[in-house]
Amino acid sequence: MRIGIDLGGTKIEVIALSDHGEELFRKRVPTPRGSYESTLLAIKGLVDAAEQATKQTGSVGIGIPGTISPFNNRVKNANSVWLNGELLDKDLRQLLNREIRIANDANCMTVSEATDGAGAGNRIVLALILGTGCGSGIVINGKPHNGSNGIGGEWGHNPLPWMDEEEQKIAHENECYCGHHGCIEQFISGTGLCDDYERRSGQRLKGNEIVILAEQGDELAEKSLQAYERRLAKALSAYVNILDPDVIIFAGGVCNIDRLYTNVPKLMPEYIFGKEFQTPIRKALHGDSSGVRGAAWLWPLKNKPE
């Protein structure tokens, strides 16, 4: 049995999977925001609950909204800021009395989809999280690619490539929370889509509401979606030009916009070196469960501890 923990900013979720990937147990609790010690105890409580319910002992993998520095082994880049600077790996190993594995939550999502989801059977899997923010995960031969600085897949805070005049103006006038201008996240997150429609219409709507308006023939909603699709094609093409993955997976709230899977591939060759693009783009199979499932799959069968 393998146990996965998804440590989020508002909730902590546990899942227990059998060796065949069947769900044996699932539970979530509110995240004790601001308290590192309480967060550790909440994780231990969920692991204990999973093992008591299943009457089995499991390996433990944890997805976090940040990463472990390869230089000092402390958490960095976490938007759950009370985790930053802490020795989470060491502290949980002591608390749970076993080896654990920790990975960025986007990488965990990608591991899940690469193991038994939309990317199963492929060697190099790229998954994009398109939600409130945007990020990505890379899995190669079943393992997440963290990189030598622990920031593999931090795609959203690179600049949007091939900007037109409108995009340059938006970038100049709007600073990203990271301190830079023109970040991909500002354009192709779900928030970026809503921002674009608000700039055009003066009205703030949710992404699904913009899609419905476009389907009803609303000109401004259609323009926002077309701009979003082209910006996503630009940003993704730059990624493909470097990584050239076997499959691309969309996750997060924006992945439910069905027209993306038709329109974005048609735009990609314009920006791909060589003008050829046949890589399949698929929707995440496990949806919101991918992160916690991927945390469990950080321990493949062949690497499972005794």
pLDDT in tens, 254-280: 999 999 999 999 999 999 999 999 999
Shared domain for 91 and 213, answered yes or no, is no
Look up residue 185 and give its two tokens: 């996240």
Taking the CA of residue 183 as centre, how many other CA atoms within 13 Å lie in the half-sphere pointing to its CB? 20
Instruction: Give tens-digit pLDDT for 84-115.
Output: 999 999 999 999 999 999 999 899 999 999 99
Shared domain for 268 and 292, answered yes or no, is no
Look up residue 63 and give its two tokens: 């997805």
The band of 293, judged by pLDDT with boundaries at 50, 70 and 90, is very high
**Alpha-carbon gap, residue 295 to 246, rounded angstroms:** 22
Report the 10 Å Cβ neighbour count for 122.
20
Shared domain for 63 and 175, answered yes or no, is no
Residue 160's nearest CA partner among 185, 123, 128 is: 185
State how far the alpha carbon of 182 is from the alpha carbons of 109, 167, 235, 262, in Å. 26, 8, 12, 26
Does residue 74 have a pLDDT over 90?
Answer: yes
Question: What is residue 303's predicted lDDT score, i.e. its pLDDT?
Answer: 54
Residue range of the domain that includes 25: 2-111+288-303
Shared domain for 146 and 24, answered yes or no, is no
**Residue pointed to by tokens 């997440």:** 144
Instruction: Give tens-digit pLDDT for 117-142.
Output: 999 999 999 999 898 888 899 999 98
Shared domain for 124 and 35, answered yes or no, is no
Shared domain for 165 and 234, answered yes or no, is yes
Question: What is residue 6's predicted lDDT score, i.e. its pLDDT?
Answer: 93
Shared domain for 263 and 136, answered yes or no, is yes
Does residue 207 have a pLDDT over 80?
Answer: yes
Q: How many residues does the chain have?
A: 306
Alpha-carbon Rg for the chain in angstroms = 20
Shared domain for 141 and 270, answered yes or no, is yes
- pTM listed for this prediction: 0.86
Domain count, the chain: 2
SS3 16: strand
The band of 68, judged by pLDDT with boundaries at 50, 70 and 90, is very high
Tell me the CATH number at 158. 3.30.420.40
Shared domain for 174 and 213, answered yes or no, is yes
Shared domain for 103 and 128, answered yes or no, is no
Shared domain for 269 and 141, answered yes or no, is yes
Shared domain for 237 and 92, answered yes or no, is no
Query: How many helices and strands in the chain, by DSSP H and E?
Result: 10, 12
Does residue 306 have a pLDDT over 50?
Answer: no
